[in-house]
Amino acid sequence: MASRTGIALGTNIGNRIANLREARDLLVNLMPPGTTYLQSGIYQSEPVDCPPESPDFYNAVIEIDYIGKPHDLLKATQGIEWKLGRNSSPVRNSPRPIDLDILYFDHVFMDQDILTLPHPRLTNRRFVLMPLADIHPHLILPGDETTVGEHLRKLDSEETDPILIQTAW
C-alpha cells in the first residue's frame, strides 16, 4: 500500500525553477502508476542558517504516493540530489542546486540518527510551512495536535515572509 509523503524542495544556485521542476519530475517517477501528486507554488525566501552572501532560495512542497519504507525514500531523495549536482560541502547549508527533505511519511513517527519524521524543524520554518499550507492547511502531523495552517499563523520567527513566485510550474 502506498504512503502519502510530503517532501520539501529548495534550491539557491543555477536555474532555480528548472532545478525544482527536474527534482519534482524525478520524485513523481517514484510514484506507483495511476496515482496523483500535489504541489505548492514556488516561493522565494531569504536563506536561513546559511553562510553569509548565500543567494535567496526558491522553495516548494510536493506530496506523493510512495511504496516502500521511509529509509528507501531517503536513499531515493539523496540520489536525486546527487544526480542534480549537489555535492558534499564542509560548510553547513552551503548554496546548492537542490535540497530535498522528507517532511512526513503518512502517520510514521520516528527519531533515528539519519531520519526523523516528521521533519524536526518543519513547524519552525516559514519557508516550509507556507508552501505546505498551500496543499494541506488542515494537515495534522504525527505526534502533533495543531494543523499546519495554525502553526503558520502562530509562528513567531525572525524570517521574512516568503514571496510567491509562481503557482504553476
Beta bridge partners of 4: 65
DSSP class of residue 147?
B
If one compares 45 and 88, the residue with the highest pLDDT of the two is: 45
Split at pLDDT 50, 70, 90, the class of 14 is: very high
Set out the domains of the chain in order of their start, with CATH numbers.
3-166 (3.30.70.560)
116 and 106 in contact (C-beta within 8 Å)?
A: no
Split at pLDDT 50, 70, 90, the class of 48 is: confident
Count the Cβ atoms, other than its own, within 10 Å of residue 109: 13
42 and 130 in contact (C-beta within 8 Å)?
A: no
Q: What is the pLDDT of residues 123-155, one digit of tens each?
A: 999 999 999 999 999 999 999 999 999 999 999
CA gap 37, 6 in Å, rounded: 10
Count the Cβ atoms, other than its own, within 10 Å of residue 30: 19
Q: What is the pLDDT of residues 62-105, one digit of tens each?
A: 999 999 999 999 999 999 999 999 877 666 777 889 999 999 99
Task: State the pLDDT at residue 49.
Answer: 81
* Helix/strand/coil for 56: coil
The pTM of this model reads 0.94
Average pLDDT of the residues of the chain: 94
Task: State the pLDDT at residue 1.
Answer: 85
Plot region of 14 (φ>0 → left; ψ -120 to 50 → alpha; else → beta) = left
Task: State the pLDDT at residue 90.
Answer: 66
C-alpha cell of residue 48: 536561513
